[in-house]
């Protein structure tokens, strides 16, 4: 039975990751697309494009907005 537990964890982990990705995509569609465009290409010159940026860059920028080290009145509230 002991050897079965790690195998079970390996089977469950990808499902949780897929669920997180699906939740992130749903949130991006509902929240981010309003300003940054459905495909990540902004519809307004003053709003940056999200498309083409690497995941690590976007994550670091969202963290900086959330902790206040990057200042933007709209995005600080959203992040």
Q: How far apart are CA 31 and CA 1, in angstroms?
A: 45
Cα 1 versus chain centre, distance: 37
Q: Does domain 4-78 have CATH number 1.10.1060?
A: no
- Give the pLDDT confidence of 15-67 residue by residue, as tens digits: 556 778 888 788 878 888 899 998 899 989 999 999 999 989 999 999 999 99
Q: What is the pLDDT of residue 15?
A: 58
Q: What is the pLDDT of residue 24?
A: 77
Token representation of residue 22: 């699906």
The C-alpha angle with vertex 48 and arms to 32 and 21, in degrees rounded to 5, equals 35
pTM above 0.85?
no
pLDDT at residue 75 tops 70: yes
Where are the chain's structural domains? Answer: 4-78
Greater pLDDT, 42 or 79: 42
| Residue for token pair 């999200």 | 50
Q: What is the pLDDT of residue 3?
A: 46
């Amino acid at each position: 039975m002991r050897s079965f537990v790690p195998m079970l964890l390996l089977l469950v982990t990808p499902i949780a990751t897929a669920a997180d990705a699906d939740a992130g995509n749903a949130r991006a569609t509902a929240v981010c697309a309003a300003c940054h465009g459905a495909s990540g290409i902004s519809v307004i010159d003053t709003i940056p494009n999200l498309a083409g940026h690497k995941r690590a860059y976007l994550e670091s920028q969202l963290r900086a907005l959330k902790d206040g080290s990057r200042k933007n009145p709209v995005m600080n509230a959203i992040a």
